[in-house]
Chain A
Amino acid sequence: DGGITQSPKYLFRKEGQNVTLSCEQNLNHDAMYWYRQDPGQGLRLIYYSQIVNDFQKGDIAEGYSVSREKKESFPLTVTSAQKNPTAFYLCASSIGLRPQETQYFGPGTRLLVL
């Protein structure tokens, strides 16, 4: 089955710790995205990537880092510099970045701070 997988489903972070969220897609999509959703809020863009080895900052990139070494994978690292990391993190992908291309979402990772 084609789709987007995210792991883990729940992640707990201790103070000062970096954690990495996994996102994998087998849709052969070029573009991938990371969003953050806080309770009662819409989604906010953290980073996006349109091709391998290239990525761009979104609206709230501070305290986060990404890599895109493979087309299928776009991991997100939440660093200790992110002071309020508790949120629902959503990975998405689309065929490309043209305006009419739909973004499809993975199931999400819920990050909680201990």
Chain B
Amino acid sequence: QKEVEQNSGPLSVPEGAIASLNCTYSDRVSQSFFWYRQYSGKSPELIMSIYSNGDKEDGRFTAQLNKASQYVSLLIRDSQPSDSATYLCAVLSGGTSYGKLTFGQGTILTVHP
């Protein structure tokens, strides 16, 4: 079982729709969770971080964390063509591997006009 798993997609949504990106992780002691956006040929840029169970909203983005189910998601409301990118879920362990950020393989999102 991979430590961090994402559906690789591609996920295609129409402009204005809600895009839902999902991620599961295997390390129960994980404490911090991050969503990065990566445009083709570019480096990842941080979109959201979440540390506690529940929802965290920032503009059109909402991150959801459920530690009991070991599940983290990212919702993008009113999707725009500029949101088309690969979205990487990353999990930081709070155990002996302090500082080790483990990434999923990424979900490709395409927003079509």
Give the interface size bracket for B toward A. Answer: 20 to 34
Q: Answer yes or no: A43 CB below 8 A from chain B CBs.
A: yes
Q: A43-B88, A90-B43, A90-B44 are in contact. Are A102 and B98 (CB under 8 A)?
A: no
User: Which residue on B lies nearest to A110, using beta carbons?
Assistant: B41
A98: which B residues are within 8 A, CB to CB? 98
B93: which A residues are within 8 A, CB to CB? 99
Q: Are A102 and B49 in contact (CB under 8 A)?
A: yes
Q: Answer yes or no: A48 CB below 8 A from chain B CBs.
A: yes
Q: Which residue of the partner chain, among A50, A100, A103, contacts B101 with CB atoms under 8 Å?
A: A103
User: Which residue on A lies nearest to B101, using beta carbons?
Assistant: A103
- Stretch touching chain A among B12-20, B65-73, B102-110: B102-110
Q: Are B42 and A99 in contact (CB under 8 A)?
A: no
Q: Which residues of A contact B (CB under 8 A)?
A: 31, 33, 35, 40-45, 48, 50, 58, 90, 94, 97-100, 102-108
